[in-house]
Structure 1
């Protein structure tokens, strides 16, 4: 007897159905308020945004973009990011969103791995695409850097030309299919290279609908987004939720502590997704006499950092692969402080020991998530069936790579990461990415990268390096500078180690593996005596 096939909750729908539906229902209402740093705000109504998406889709099609093509979006926060992303969905193309802080070497990997032939970028980021220009059929470029006017590079298509064509009266060009891939977001993993997480139209609709439910978002909410759109947080938790409920998104190029309250108060923002770094920075700013926030969301419920603002703050846990939050705090009822929330009603989760058995209350274990592939969980890793298969157990549970602790009241606390990962100011960084770059320097024998605590960023990478005997001790300073230079040339700035230390040997555990926990303890002890 064959297994039952669950019905897709978004059968017959896709992202562009949602956009069209809301544009008809809320034509004149603001969907997007763009707040650049150097000029007045721009407002796109639902109807204006939808019309602009049609223009960009018509231009992309005229330039040869077809269903299934992969389009690189390498942009800081700006309206063009969202317009291009939505236009790709209309054509059945796949948007590939990449971190704007990536190095030229990293961008070469992203473009070659995803097989992008078309790219949309901005003047300040063109240099990072120099190594892949010959792989692209064409490159379009905005005339600004996240709102700041800039000289358009030669040899590129001005983005303004993508807004020129009038969309056809009948715009749908592909049949609505919720399992059609819509976008790819690269995420750090335990391997030396990031994996491309393939997300569908159904994933986008799940993010819109379920995140809105989790966040108690309403049509009168005005969501302030300052995190980068190339991450799940701003795209899924902020933009898509606002679209689902008919709300408004206020978008800034990036976080700015000195501009935060002015924009938030002037636009009467009611919702904000934050990271601890933002809160620490805002504590140094004058707090307005009045604001309109009713809820914030962050990594934990009611953290001490948020309490001076007097804003209820819910915790959550999610990943790019999980689309939304399998663990979420309650918006209208009390939460356990510093927990990440409770098991969401929209997923199934389990916490198991090393043998796959459920852990008892008070114990920590491996977090696994059960959902529907292509809807509540990602579809696959791009062109990597082996990595996809390895991410699920025999019963189909997704292996998160995180450890959590079950509390007596049913709440859950984050415990640790199974994966060798760092969290640098909200950015996930795989230690192996940095180790790969350092091992590429002649004379390096062995490397261990660990997290060092940081007052503002929570963690920063720190590298311990063993070198060949021919590297004289009196040349170590010079060699360390060479290692830093290699990292700066091949890694995004937030992945460059805060420090590099040459060691004679490493502490070891079973099978001669480096005992990274001992290295972390060493750094902590050194910091304590400073």
Structure 2
């Protein structure tokens, strides 16, 4: 890939440090790949169903065709008035148009804000207003959740009619453009020149945290390039690999570990609307998929389908090495540890080289890793401590939390290390093993859920004095949220209170955040400094049905 001839003027400054992606941006990567491999298939779309309910027909896009669709989408955004620095909400399930829109924002210097399609209207309203999005690209099946009130600030709406899966469409849709109308408005427009700037803001993903609201993790163009380059290196991706994408593109796993890594390597991707255990093997086999990202929830569902057919997978990436279920299906696993904020894998095993069963690998050379005791001293080998990660902000670490300088500052220690909130065990051979989370977080079917976020919603219900959320272990979904509620109401009204708690959560939270159990209690167990003892609450839980 050839770099642009001109470099930013900042490089001429005395004592300037050369940026690792000086003179480059994401657009350079896409242009370079489409120029080098114009006729090679980059994306194969495997929809579930057509608009008429019939079985979906796969559609392939070459590198050149993919870029053409991106440019057409960029012209359409331009016609809507989108300019450099604007934010655009992308609220879509997996589909080619998700990637067209995400890449098109980069082409204009705009910022793509990707949101979880299971988010409740209250959450979406917050995402739109907090990010100051100027418009939204979504789908008809999600239209009833879109934040279209004055508080959201959204000036326009684009809705896709069919993205390859059946969804209930609201009887009345908001004023909107169809995708075809949207694209047609941009025809003939000339895209403005955009100087390559690796430090330009590019994308935002909202991630659950221990605060009352999710934080918007802001990425730069350099973050995108680093993610593609580093992930491809860790995964050992080659140009002849075919990477299956079944995880949601609104998470960094699919967007960084799969899409960007494959684009960097000049490989191919196979995209599905979402994970389907019954369609996993047919899609993988006919497309000769060689690589995939996996989470325990999906692996258990695939394993339950029975023996694997003859396939072409050589590796799955997930949070542990050589997982027995994967080995039974004839696939080795590459273990890794990463967060939205770390852009890539801060800890990773190495393809083809042995590491202890269940480990997550070694420290990546791209980061500085510390594992510390409570007093800040280094954790001894064989012991468990707090994981901290240092990289370069805006390159190997996120740039900042959007519009939240306080949260950004408090997320780093005095030495510039990012405080992950996770605990790691140091194994004798230098390898590491994930232990647990410092943060009060749940892992629900592959989704990170902040207990405090659910507690904030429950606290708004009349009759609730205090609420505590803990995770109930579940064999399929890892954890499920359970609520313990301290009430101001007499016992005779507790049943009604439980119903109101659940209905409020259903209205204001994504479905996977809604508690599966609500217990009204006379008191909450307390520990040091009167903090609720969630260890005690977990001991009271009944196994999930």
**Range into which the TM-score falls when normalised by the shorter chain:** over 0.9
Counterpart in the other structure of 1:63 = 80
User: Structure 1 residue 6: deviation in Å?
Assistant: 4.4
8 A Cα contact 1:54 1:167, kept in partner: no
Contact 1:90 1:173 survives alignment (8 Å): no
Instruction: Find the partner of 1:34 among 45, 69, 75.
Output: 45
- Say if 1:210 and 1:324, in contact at 8 Å, map to a contact too: yes
For 1:249 and 1:4, the matched residues in 2 are separated by: 42
State the distance in 2 between where 1:162 and 1:326 align.
40
CA-CA distance at 1:475 after TM superposition: 2.0
Residue equivalent to 2:531: 513
1:462-494 deviation per Cα after TM superposition (whole angstroms, max 9, x unaligned): 0100000xx221221111011100000000000
Within the candidate set 99, 106, 121, 2:123 is matched to 106
- The counterpart of 2:305, out of the listed 277, 285, 296, is 285
- State the distance in 2 between where 1:201 and 1:485 align: 41
Is 1:240 aligned to 2:260, yes or no?
yes
Residue 366 of structure 1: how far off its partner (Å): 0.8
CA distance, structure 2, for counterparts of residue 255 and residue 305 of structure 1:
18
Query: How far apart, in 1, do the equivalents of 2:405 and 2:491 lie?
Result: 46
The equivalent residue for 2:36 is 25
Distance 2:514 2:267 in 1: 39
Alpha-carbon distance in structure 1 between the residues aligned to 2:140 and 2:99: 18
Contact persistence 1:439–1:446 (CA under 8 A): yes
Distance 1:510 1:150, change over 3 A: closer
- Could you say what secondary structure the match of 1:302 adopts? coil
What is the aligned partner in structure 1 of residue 520 from structure 2? 502
Contact 1:78-1:147 within 8 A present in 2 as well: no
TM-score (norm 2): 0.93
Residue 159 (structure 1) aligned with residue 216 (structure 2): no
Choose from 379, 391, 411 the match for 2:399. 379
How far is 1:527 from its partner?
Answer: 3.2
8 Å Cα contact 1:422-1:460 kept in structure 2: yes
Are residue 463 (structure 1) and residue 463 (structure 2) matched?
A: no
Secondary structure of the 1:331 match is: coil
For the residue of structure 2 that corresponds to 1:83, the secondary structure is: helix
Partner in structure 2 of residue 410 of structure 1: 430
Matched ranges for 1:395-474 at <5 A: 395-468=415-488, 471-474=489-492
Distance 2:464 2:376 in 1: 38
Query: What secondary structure does 2:133 align onto?
Result: coil
* 1:124 alignment counterpart: 141
* Contact persistence 1:261–1:287 (CA under 8 A): no
| Counterpart secondary structure, 1:121 | strand
Shift of the alpha carbon at 1:104? 0.5
* 4+ aligned runs moved over 2 Å, structure 1: 3-7, 130-135, 145-154, 161-169, 286-289
Matched, 1:527 2:527: no
**How far off its partner does 1:167 sit?**
6.4
> Aligned-pair distance for 1:150?
8.1
Matched residue, 2:10:
none
Offset at 1:284?
1.8
Select between 91-100 and 281-290 the one with higher mean Cα deviation.
281-290
- Change beyond 3 A, Cα 1:149–1:193: closer
Counterpart of 1:269 in structure 2 is: 289
Q: Please say if residues 90 and 172 of structure 1, whose CA atoms lie closer than 8 Å, have aligned partners that are also in contact.
A: no
| Structure 2 portions without partners, runs of 5+ | 1-13, 50-55
Q: Is the 8 A contact 1:144 1:150 kept in 2?
A: no
Q: What is the Cα deviation at residue 162 of structure 1? A: 3.3
Query: Is 2:147 aligned against 1:136?
Result: no
Paired residues of 1:76 and 1:146 also in contact (CA < 8 A): no
Which residue does the alignment assign to 1:76?
93
Aligned: 1:300 with 2:320: yes
Matches within 5 A, 1:174-189: 174-189=194-209
Give secondary structure in 2 for the equivalent of 1:404. strand
Q: 1:194 Cα shift?
A: 0.1
Q: Is the 8 A contact 2:411 2:418 kept in 1?
A: yes
Structure 1, residues 91-120: CA drift from partner, whole Å, max 9, x if none?
Answer: 000000000000001111111111112110
- Residue 291 of structure 1 aligns to a residue in which SS? coil
Q: Is the 8 A contact 1:352 1:366 kept in 2?
A: yes
- 1:361-380: per-residue Cα shift (whole Å, max 9, x none)? 01111111110000000000
CA deviation after TM superposition for structure 1 residue 314, in Å: 1.2
C-alpha distance in 2 between matches for 1:495 and 1:146: 26
Q: 1:433 to 1:150 in 2, by over 3 A?
A: closer
Root-mean-square deviation (Å) = 1.8
Task: Quote the Cα distance in structure 2 between the aligned partners of 1:422 and 1:298.
Answer: 18
Greater CA deviation, 139-148 or 109-118?
Answer: 139-148
Does structure 1 retain, via aligned residues, the 8 Å contact 2:143–2:174?
A: no
